């Protein structure tokens, strides 16, 4: 009888621990400074696949999966504002063909990365950022005020050889 009771307590404890871990994971995704539900949905779906150096037509696809290269093999438009801590890290450059409507945009990435946006040959300063470890689809989200025209997205310091990112206008 005591063995059965002990086994029941052990099983119940294990179920509670797993349940708590799942709840915490869900909570982590809800702890960003702004909603990322649309990006999470995009990242779960099949995405446009691009290689570093490609041009992305934002009107056709607001998200992509990018194959990265070794940092030393990437031709950056401008040297990244922050060099990667790991010299073996991966990096990539994607040109967004055109921002049609100027305004506040949110770039969300699936992996830990340093991200620079360049427009009119100048770095665009971020106006906000949010990141959480433990959210399975999203690692960070950064907001930028963008004008009309093309934008270069420079990604560096990534430990994986691929990253997903989405660039969406912020709807207030």
Return the pLDDT at 16. Answer: 41
- Residue 17's pLDDT band, with cuts at 50, 70 and 90, is very low
Percent of the chain with pLDDT over 70: 84
Domain ranges of the chain: 31-169
Which CATH fold topology does 31-169 show? Jelly Rolls (2.60.120)
pLDDT value at residue 12: 46
pLDDT over threshold 50, residue 70: yes
Average pLDDT of span 41-69? 95
Mean pLDDT of 135-158: 96
What's this model's pTM, rounded to 2 decimal places?
Answer: 0.82
- Mean pLDDT (whole number) for 37-65: 94
Average pLDDT of the chain, as a whole number:
87
pLDDT in tens, 127-137: 999 988 889 89
CA distance 172 to 142: 16
Q: Tell me: pLDDT of 18 over 90.
A: no
Lowest model confidence (mean pLDDT) among 52-56, 81-85, 114-118, 158-162: 81-85
DSSP for the chain? -HHHHHHHHHHHHHHHHHHHHHHHHHHHHTTSSS--HHHHHHHHS--EEEETT-EE-TTT-SEEEEE-EEGGG---SS--SS--SSTT-EEEEEEEEEESS-EEEEEEESS--EEEEEETTEEEPEEEEEE-TT-SS-SEEEEEEE-SEEEEEEEEEESSSEEEEEEEEPP-
């Amino acid at each position: 009888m005591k063995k059965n009771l002990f086994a029941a307590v052990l099983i119940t404890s294990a179920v509670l621990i797993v349940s708590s871990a799942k709840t915490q994971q869900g909570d982590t995704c809800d702890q960003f400074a702004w909603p990322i539900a649309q990006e999470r949905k995009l990242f779960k779906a099949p995405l446009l696949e691009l290689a570093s150096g490609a041009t992305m037509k934002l009107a056709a696809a607001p998200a992509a999966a990018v194959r990265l290269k070794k940092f030393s093999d990437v031709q950056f438009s401008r040297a990244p504002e922050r060099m990667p801590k790991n010299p073996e890290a991966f990096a990539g450059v994607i040109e967004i063909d055109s921002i049609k409507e100027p305004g506040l945009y949110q770039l969300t990435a699936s992996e830990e990365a340093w991200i620079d946006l360049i427009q009119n040959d100048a770095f665009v300063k971020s106006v906000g950022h949010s990141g959480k470890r433990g959210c399975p689809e999203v690692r960070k989200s950064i907001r930028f005020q963008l004008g009309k025209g093309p934008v270069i997205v420079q990604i560096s310091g990534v430990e994986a050889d691929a990253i997903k990112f989405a660039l969406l206008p912020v709807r207030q």
